[in-house]
Amino acid sequence: MQSLFNRWLPATTLALWSAVLFYFHFSDRMKEVLEPPFKTYAYIAAFVLALMAIVFVVFKADASCCSTADCGHGLSRLSAGKMLTFLILLVPICVAASYTPKTGFSAKFVENRGTAMNVENLGAGAKAARAADLTLPGKGGNPGTAVRADGSPAPLQENPTDFLTRTPEGNIVAEVLDLLYAAQDKTLQADFEGKQIELIGQFLPDTGKNATANRFKAVRMFMSCCAADAQPVATLVETEAMPDFKEMEWVKIIGVPTFPVERGRRISVLKALTITKTPAPEDEFAR
């Protein structure tokens, strides 16, 4: 029994945690819960945990402390207590690995977390992360390129000094965050306003107290480091007739952005020309 508690259960616990990290890494589910810079650390942690599990198997542990009556670890003096200790470590990770959704965030999550529809509502961490790598149209960077349907670059036929990324049809490729920042920056407004753009987001009816029947939200998730800090961001989309899509279904919107002042605040409203269902992008998070 001592061998079970001193060697095999610790080794099993460490090995299981390592296996879960490896599973998330090699199944690409890690991208749903961690930003790229942090994935390397999770990968290293998986290796370290696996190595520690091997150490427990090869080298017998000395548990003399927990075999004496004066041991301060109350649970460790009983076999049932020792088993409970390991279950506390094993059960949560098994449940998390088994029930973590593979389809992204739900409408309920967005409702509970709240949607940022202007830059002032972005958390401090989100603002800092966005500012660190912000390269928006009109703010410098490399000249844009057109994109073919398969995602490969296509020659840009527009003005070579144009820093906007465009589709072969000439539509400006925009992100939700681009429009939110443009609502607060006149230079960015000039880049977008009155021009035809293409934007991909998740469909969510606008149920706020000031909602109108012909508007919905195009939602993306902004993640600073991990899924725990994921924050929904959205721009309003205005259409003549509300489309029949499921909540959080991915849609591609082609339209013209406007930046009206409503209830004392300038906001972004995309006036849709076409709205079509589209597959989820390879990177589902807002950039």
Tell me: the pLDDT tens digits for 126-149?
A: 444 444 444 444 444 444 444 444
> Exposed/middle/buried for 52, CB within 10 Å: 0-12, 13-18, 19+?
middle
Overall pTM surpassing 0.75 (yes/no): no
Cα–Cα distance measured from residue 200 to residue 191, given in angstroms and rounded to the nearest whole number: 18
Cα–Cα distance measured from residue 243 to residue 262, given in angstroms and rounded to the nearest whole number: 24
Average pLDDT over residues 24-29: 76
Nearest Cα to 115, choosing from 225, 189, 35, 211? 211
Residue 198 has a pLDDT of 96
Residue 118 has a pLDDT of 80
Residue 138 has a pLDDT of 44
CB-CB contact of 213 with 269 (8 Å): no
**Six token digits for residue 117:** 């529809």
Question: Mean pLDDT score of the chain, rounded to an integer?
Answer: 76
Give the model's confidence band at 119: pLDDT under 50 very low, under 70 low, under 90 confident, else very high.
confident
* Rg, the chain, Cα only: 25
Give the model's confidence band at 77: pLDDT under 50 very low, under 70 low, under 90 confident, else very high.
low
Within 10 Å of residue 151's Cβ, how many Cβ atoms?
8
**Six token digits for residue 213:** 């029947």
CB-CB contact of 204 with 216 (8 Å): yes
**Six token digits for residue 134:** 């912000």
For the chain, domains (ranges, CATH) are 2-99 (no CATH), 107-277 (2.40.50.140)
Q: Which residue is it, tokens 């840009």?
A: 156
Cα–Cα distance measured from residue 145 to residue 158, given in angstroms and rounded to the nearest whole number: 9
pLDDT(239) > 70: yes
Helix (H), strand (E) counts: the chain: 8, 10
CB-CB contact of 125 with 225 (8 Å): yes
Give the model's confidence band at 4: pLDDT under 50 very low, under 70 low, under 90 confident, else very high.
low
pLDDT(154) > 60: no
Residue 176 has a pLDDT of 93
Cα–Cα distance measured from residue 180 to residue 199, given in angstroms and rounded to the nearest whole number: 13
Q: Residue 199: in which H helix or E strand, if any? A: strand 197-205
pLDDT(248) > 50: yes
Residue 63 has a pLDDT of 53
Cα–Cα distance measured from residue 60 to residue 53, given in angstroms and rounded to the nearest whole number: 12
Give the model's confidence band at 113: pLDDT under 50 very low, under 70 low, under 90 confident, else very high.
confident
Average pLDDT over residues 251-262: 94
- Of the given ranges (12-26, 67-81, 237-251), which has the lowest mean pLDDT? 67-81
Question: What is the percent of the chain with per-residue pLDDT over 90, rounded to a whole number?
Answer: 25
Number of residues that this document lists for the chain: 287
Cα–Cα distance measured from residue 171 to residue 167, given in angstroms and rounded to the nearest whole number: 5
Give the model's confidence band at 71: pLDDT under 50 very low, under 70 low, under 90 confident, else very high.
low
Residue 233 has a pLDDT of 92
Residue 145 has a pLDDT of 45
Pairing of strands 261-262, 265-266: antiparallel
Cα–Cα distance measured from residue 203 to residue 186, given in angstroms and rounded to the nearest whole number: 27
| Tens-place pLDDT, residues 164-200 | 889 899 899 999 999 999 998 888 898 898 899 999 9
